[in-house]
Structure 1
Amino acid sequence: MLIKLNWITLRVSNLENSLAFYNGKLGLPIQRRFESRGRQIAMLGIANETKLELIEGSESILKPEAGISIGYEVNSLEEAIEQLKALDIPIVRGPIQPNPHLRFIYITDPDGFEVQLAEHI
């Protein structure tokens, strides 16, 4: 059996705020938006890559303090840091370099979920 990671789902308190962060600031393309069972949903990400599914709702099943983070690769961590500064997005941890081939930082989204931006050197 071959399986492939299709999407990761986050329940967010305000879809528009989350879209402003993930699409407007981080540049993740919105693949589609729709409503299902009264909930607003957006799928973000690059074609043929794992998507981020955002579902707006008041109840949060997964809490930010559960230790879950979403990781994205960037071409240059230094450029990413400069862009984050220009966007007034604070770095909550890092830069961290656990080995000579990897450096990363953490930021948080509007609901407090950690987003890791990593550069493979």
Structure 2
Amino acid sequence: MNVSLNWITLRVRDIEDSLEFYHNILGLPINRRFESRGKQIAMLGTQEQPKIELIQGSEIMVMPENGISVGFEVESLDAAIEELNSKGIPIVRGPISPNPHLRFFYILDPDGFEVQLAEHS
């Protein structure tokens, strides 16, 4: 079997708050947005990459304390920190450098899910 990652689903309380964070703050493009069975859904990411699927209106909520996090690569961790600080987004953990080739830190999305931003060198 040969598989590739297509999307990761986050069940959110308010899709507009989540779109503000993932699209306007982190810069993920909105690939498509639609309603299905009374649920608002947005797919974020470019055509070539796996997507983040945001679903509002789900009866099942995944709680952030269940260990779910989403990771993104950035070109410059220092530039990311500066930009997030200017937008009022606090860093909740890090920066951490487990080896000379990797640095990362964590922020929280509007639902409390951890979002890791990492720089590989």
Q: Which category of TM-score, normalised to the shorter sequence, fits these structures?
A: over 0.9
Output the CA distance in 1 between the equivalents of 2:58 and 2:5: 26
Does residue 33 (structure 1) correspond to residue 33 (structure 2)? The answer is: yes
- Counterparts in 2 of 1:1-121, with a 5 A limit? 1-57=1-57, 59-121=59-121
Structure 2-normalised TM-score? 0.97
1:68: Cα distance to partner? 1.0
Structure 1-normalised TM-score? 0.97
Bigger drift between 67-76 and 53-62 goes to: 53-62
Amino acid paired to 2:36? S
Bigger drift between 54-63 and 104-113 goes to: 54-63
- Cα-Cα RMSD: 0.9
Secondary structure of the residue that 2:85 maps to in structure 1?
helix
Output the CA distance in 2 between the equivalents of 1:72 and 1:15: 20
Identity score, percent? 68
Output the CA distance in 2 between the equivalents of 1:46 and 1:88: 26
Any runs of at least 4 consecutive aligned residues in structure 1 with deviations exceeding 4 A, and if so which? none
